[in-house]
Amino acid sequence: MAFLRKVNQVLLLLLVLTLCGILYKKVHKGAVLKDKAENGSNILN
């Protein structure tokens, strides 16, 4: 039973980290595009 609890904790941690990564990418992408639009510079290329 302890093994299953440990596996569940690891899977939950991976899920949380994945969600955080997705949200970070969305926010970072939006910030870069906003900055690009304001400054008129091409940051991505």
Residue reference for tokens 């906003």: 34
Q: What is the pLDDT along the chain (45 residues), one digit of tens a residue?
A: 899 999 999 999 999 999 999 999 988 876 655 555 566 555 554
pLDDT for 34: 59
pLDDT for 31: 63
Residues 29, 44 contacting (CB under 8 angstroms)? no
Domain layout of the chain by residue ranges: 1-38
pLDDT for 8: 97
pLDDT for 27: 87
Residues 36, 43 contacting (CB under 8 angstroms)? yes
pLDDT for 42: 54
